[in-house]
Each structure stands twice: as C-alpha cells, then as structure tokens.
C-alpha cells in the first residue's frame, strides 16, 4: 500500500510517523513545498495544547499530544539525539460571563474529568484568589487546567516529527499538492 500525505507540517508529519510506526510496509510519501518547514503554519502558530474540550475524543487526542510533548526523546529522538520542544506546562483559563457559558463549562468539565483531565471549576471568588490581577466582577464561572496544558515551540515540534517520520522511512517530495 502507498499513501500520499499533502503537507508536511506537524499534522502531516505526525500522520507519516504513526503510519510508519503502525506498519513499516506501508510506503508513505509526503508532498511538502517547504521541506525545511520554515513557512509551514506549524512554525508560525501559537503552538499550544489544552485538554479543555467538550468531546471525549478531542480530550484523548490532546492527551496523546501531551505524551509526545512530555516525553519527546522517547517518541521523537533519532540516533539518540535529545529533542527539545521548549514545552512549558501551564494551565489554560476559560471564563464564562453568563449562565449559558457557565453551563457549557460545567458540561465540558464533566467530559474532561471523565477522560482524566486535571481541570477545576472556579467560582468568581476562587478565581480572584488564584488570579488576583484579573478582573472578575462579571465572571460567572471559570475553568482552569491544573496541568497537561501549555505551550511549546511549534517549529521544533514539526521538524522533530518530520525527522522521525523520515527516519522510519517516510519520503518527502519538495512539491505542492494541487487539487
């Protein structure tokens, strides 16, 4: 079987890497006009990760990404080279100013906690204690990721994924997909 992936940024490279990990017999071709990924959206993104989603599948996918970010040498090292993704683990804060938003935070929190995410709901008073510099007079409820959320170097991440995928046998083609 031969699979073509259009785009070699973080998502395309991750697809190539995991396809080759799952089945080394699958030929994987990545079509990417910028093999150095300097212009890829992954290199220019805010490059952050969170577990605060409203569906279990998104929480679980984020947890897999978190595993890669926390243990890059285990997942992405090639020839024993250390992989530095600049991952800073710090929480995300979501704020609701009305009852509909507060209910959405409560509903999402139940999904997140059931999937094992470390998230807390904060009353306006608790929010003021945790984040005293933040205006909170119109806050109804807040959701804070206690761990498993943060930011990283998106360019380093995309390049590490691509390097590992290449090491596993994926082939890059310097070309643009047209369709």
pLDDT band at 35; cut points 50, 70, 90 = confident
Burial class (CB in 10 A: 0-12, 13-18, 19+), 6: middle
Q: Is the pLDDT of residue 155 over 60?
A: yes
Contacts of 18 (CB under 8 A, 6+ apart): none
The pLDDT tens digits of the residues spanning 55-114 come to 999 999 999 999 999 999 999 999 999 999 999 999 999 999 999 999 999 999 999 999
Burial track 63-102 (b if 16+ CB lie within 10 A, e otherwise): eebbebbeebeebbbeeeeebebebeeebbbbbbeeeeeb
pLDDT attached to residue 178:
63
Q: How confident is the model at residue 156 (pLDDT cuts 50, 70, 90)?
A: very high
Cβ proximity of 20 and 170 under 8 Å: yes
pLDDT single digits (tens) 8-28: 889 999 999 999 999 999 999
Query: Across-strand partners of 173?
Result: 31
Instruction: Name the band, by pLDDT with cuts 50, 70 and 90, for residue 38.
Output: confident
In the chain, the domains with their CATH numbers are 1-47+153-179 (3.50.50.60), 49-152 (no CATH)
Closest by Cα among 53, 52, 68 to 145? 52
Tell me the angle at which helices 99-114 and 56-70 cross, rounded to the nearest 10 degrees: 60
Lowest pLDDT segment from 37-41, 105-109, 135-139: 37-41
List residues bridging with 122 in a β-sheet: 142
Return d(Cα 75, Cα 98) in angstroms, integer. 42
Q: What is the mean pLDDT of residues 35-64?
A: 90
C-alpha separations of 78 from 74, 87, 90, 92 in Å: 10, 19, 28, 32
- pLDDT given for residue 84 in this prediction: 97
Among 136, 137, 141, 138, residue whose Cα is nearest residue 104: 141
The CA-to-CA distance between both ends of the chain, in Å, stands at 22
pLDDT band at 177 (very low <50, low <70, confident <90, very high): low
Predicted local confidence at residue 34, as pLDDT: 86
pTM for the whole thing? 0.87
């Amino acid at each position: 079987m031969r699979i073509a992936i259009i785009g070699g940024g973080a998502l395309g490279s991750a697809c190539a890497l995991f396809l080759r990990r799952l089945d080394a017999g699958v030929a994987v071709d990545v079509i990417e006009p910028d093999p150095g990924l300097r212009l890829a959206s992954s290199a220019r993104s805010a490059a952050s990760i969170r577990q605060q989603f409203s569906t279990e599948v998104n929480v679980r996918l984020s947890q897999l990404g978190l595993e890669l970010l926390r243990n890059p040498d285990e997942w992405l090292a090639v020839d024993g080279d250390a992989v530095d993704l600049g991952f800073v683990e710090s929480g995300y804060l979501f704020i609701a100013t009305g009852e509909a938003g507060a209910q959405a935070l409560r509903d999402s929190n139940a999904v997140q906690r059931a999937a094992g995410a470390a998230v807390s709901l904060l009353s306006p008073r608790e929010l003021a204690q945790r984040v005293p510099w933040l205006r909170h007079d119109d806050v109804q409820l807040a959701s804070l990721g206690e761990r498993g959320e943060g930011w990283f170097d998106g360019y380093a991440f995309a390049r590490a994924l691509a390097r590992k995928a290449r090491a596993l046998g994926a082939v890059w083609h310097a070309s643009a997909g047209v369709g």
